Chain A
Amino acid sequence: MFLTAEFSDAPSVGAALRALKAGGFDAAQMDVFSTEPVELPEGLLERPSHMSLAAVAGAATLGILAILFVRYTQYDYPLVTGGMPLFSWWATGVIFYEFTMFGAIFTTFATFLVESGLLKRRRAIPDPVLVAGRIQVRVCCDAGRAATATECLQRAGALNMVES
């Protein structure tokens, strides 16, 4: 079951999350919904991300593919221009660079879509409706722990509570 509580500012949300963690809930069970990013203390709600790694990997992959492609095409139908070599590292530099950037852009966007969970069509339950100026904290817990969760949230200053 899901418990959703409404708060009016970031510090009380921080307090609620700390209380929930102390109460034995972990970060994967907690979600914070807001119309703007909430400033929480470092490490309170860790969401590990592979975006940097993915971007570098994507960049390197596309960059190398670009060089291989250019090399293949220049030798596939070899035409001498200006007395210059068929394949030259310097002349390919720009293409390599641009494709590296393209790879980074593409993987960053793709990782964003995946890590944010936006691509998931089916959700366990609809996410709460956003209210400007309010921040909502939602805890996923089984019926037995509901009381603990409710207490943690209320102590931190929850304004409304909804069960679903």
Chain B
Amino acid sequence: METTVEMRGDGLRSALWRPLNGLSRAYLLALAVAFLVGAWGLGCWGYQIVRGIGVAGIRRPTMWGFYLVNFVFWIGISHAGTLISAILRLTDAGWRKPVTRAAEAITVFALMIGAAFPIIHLGRPLVFFWLFPYPNSRLLWPNFRSPLLWDVTAISTYLTGSVIYLYLPLIPDLAELAQHATGWRLRLYRLLSIGWTGSDRQWHSLERAMKMMAGTILAVAVSVHTVVAWDFAMAVAPMWHSTIYGPYFVAGAIFSGIAALVVAMSVIRKVLHLENYLQPVHFENLGKLLLLMSLLWVYFTVSEHLTTWYGNSPAEMRVFGERVRGRFAPYFWFMVLCNFVLPFVLLSIRRLRSVATITIAGVAVLIGMWIERFLIILPTLSRPHLPAAAGFYSPTWVEISITASTFAAMVMFYLIFCKLFPIIAVWEYKHVSHG
């Protein structure tokens, strides 16, 4: 297992390559805990497959529960990379450069986790592949009119695009690492860098490809979360059948994505001693973006709720009442606190803005956005059109375990990623510091 990356005299490279070497006790402990929680979740899923989806708390009429909340939540988090890499790349915001790879890694892992949930929530998960079009003995093609098929297409496209978008800027770094590595790392880096030699032809092509990918991935990301939103908006259920859902979800996704990025960066900065490279200015700028998205979120939330309340349609008012004044009210107002009040206070008052407070705002937003997804799905299902069919959901230990394990899985994937690849793009960083 002897494998190292030789340290260079150059401060940037030694700082960014040092984390690749060695396994500290803290790292192994964190990895072990994340792995165990993740494995427990996987075990719970296995139990669910064997025993039946009934071990989850879902019931009639709330046929979708935690798993769909998690699905929407993780796909939302995956918009971190898209915003930072694509939008900021297209607007040529130089400050984004140290942050891009961390963001793109979040995107890929969040997408992988999010895409698992449509399989987890199925009643017959072992035949999930029936949603894919392939010639089969059932003499049947999938129903492309269903928003769930649109989901499948959109998420597959986004996952492919994100992996490529993460991989492309990684190639030059991998090539450089291969020159200084030994053992299995050498083989891995050499394989993955596909013969990159840094010729100007390659650089031209790479930069062109990255620019094109930035535009395309942005277009895909907007469509992905819109399509996820349309899973709900296309239904006739009260307060789901709303035109605001598409933009609402995209804005919410970018919002939660930035929050996740801020939290991830904060941890990386501390743990990998990258204070010189992930500077307060980066957090300042992300904090301002987070504030902007928080205001946008409030705008959408107020729009949706005000119009519903004013319209006073009976079916919708039952759901509205449940959400704002009824059973779900504590969650609703806590969500407003987490998504708006706290970030607004911490981020708009300059004296309060610091790396620590911006991170706290990020954590609050993550909690708030998870609750928001919950509040989008459950109140509507609890109060269907026919009042006699109302019913309330409570999650079981299986759902809670699987939810917790996804966070553990994210941490684990990230830990492994940070051990294999430098979390800041070395070639891009140098590039910006020279102008």
Enumerate chain A interface residues (CB-CB to B < 8 A).
Answer: 31-40, 45, 47, 49, 51-52, 55, 69-70, 73-74, 76-77, 79, 81, 84, 88, 91-92, 94-95, 97-99, 101-102, 104-106, 108-109, 111-113, 115-119, 121, 127-130, 132-133
Contact status A94-B153, CB under 8 Å: yes
Contact status B145-A84, CB under 8 Å: yes
What's the A-B contact tally at a CB cutoff of 8 Å?
156
Contacts of A121 in B (CB 8 A): 195
Complex Cα spacing A39 to B432, Å: 12
Contacts of A35 in B (CB 8 A): 172, 176, 198, 427, 430
Within 8 A of A (CB), among B68-85: none
| A101 (CB) vs chain B CBs: closest residue | B220
Contacts of A132 in B (CB 8 A): 8, 10, 13, 176
The 5 closest A-B pairs by CB, nearest first: A127-B197, A73-B141, A116-B205, A112-B209, A32-B200
| A10 (CB) vs chain B CBs: closest residue | B434
B154 touches which one: A32, A55, A94 (CB < 8 A)? A94
For A69, A77, A111, A118, which residue has the most chain B Cβ atoms within 10 angstroms? A118
B212 touches which one: A99, A108, A128 (CB < 8 A)? A108
Contact status A95-B144, CB under 8 Å: yes
Does B334 reach chain A (CB closer than 8 Å)?
no
Contact status B202-A101, CB under 8 Å: no
Contacts of B227 in A (CB 8 A): 94, 98
A105 touches which one: B8, B133, B144, B161 (CB < 8 A)? B161
Contact status B200-A38, CB under 8 Å: yes
Complex Cα spacing A105 to B220, Å: 10
Contacts of B149 in A (CB 8 A): 95
Contacts of B348 in A (CB 8 A): none
Contact status A112-B168, CB under 8 Å: yes
| B212 (CB) vs chain A CBs: closest residue | A108
| B138 (CB) vs chain A CBs: closest residue | A77
Contact status A127-B209, CB under 8 Å: no
With A35-B172, A51-B212 known, 18 other A-B pairs at CB within 8 A are A31-B200, A34-B203, A36-B172, A37-B200, A37-B203, A37-B206, A37-B207, A47-B201, A51-B209, A73-B141, A81-B143, A104-B212, A105-B157, A105-B213, A105-B220, A108-B216, A118-B194, A132-B8
Complex Cα spacing A113 to B143, Å: 35
Complex Cα spacing A128 to B172, Å: 14
Contact status A108-B200, CB under 8 Å: no
5 contacts between A and B (CB under 8 A): A34-B200, A37-B206, A99-B157, A121-B195, A132-B10
Say which size band chain B's interface belongs to: 35 or more
A118 touches which one: B153, B202, B216, B427 (CB < 8 A)? B202
| A109 (CB) vs chain B CBs: closest residue | B164
Contact status B153-A95, CB under 8 Å: yes
Contact status B141-A76, CB under 8 Å: yes
Contact status A116-B143, CB under 8 Å: no
A47 touches which one: B175, B194, B200, B230 (CB < 8 A)? B200
Contact status A36-B144, CB under 8 Å: no
Does B140 reach chain A (CB closer than 8 Å)?
yes
Indicate whether A98 sits within 8 Å of B200 (C-beta atoms), given known contacts A69-B133, A76-B141: no
| A88 (CB) vs chain B CBs: closest residue | B145
Contacts of A109 in B (CB 8 A): 164, 168, 209, 213
| B223 (CB) vs chain A CBs: closest residue | A97
Does B150 reach chain A (CB closer than 8 Å)?
yes
Contacts of B197 in A (CB 8 A): 33, 127-128, 130
Complex Cα spacing A73 to B157, Å: 21
Does B276 reach chain A (CB closer than 8 Å)?
no
Complex Cα spacing A84 to B141, Å: 17
Complex Cα spacing A30 to B312, Å: 72
| A104 (CB) vs chain B CBs: closest residue | B216
Contact status A98-B153, CB under 8 Å: yes
What's the nearest-Cβ distance from chain A to residue B117, in Å? 19
Complex Cα spacing A36 to B203, Å: 8
A108 touches which one: B196, B201, B213, B219 (CB < 8 A)? B213
Contact status A33-B198, CB under 8 Å: yes
What's the nearest-Cβ distance from chain A to residue B181, in Å? 14
Complex Cα spacing A88 to B153, Å: 17
A102 touches which one: B8, B142, B160, B427 (CB < 8 A)? B160
Contact status B205-A51, CB under 8 Å: yes
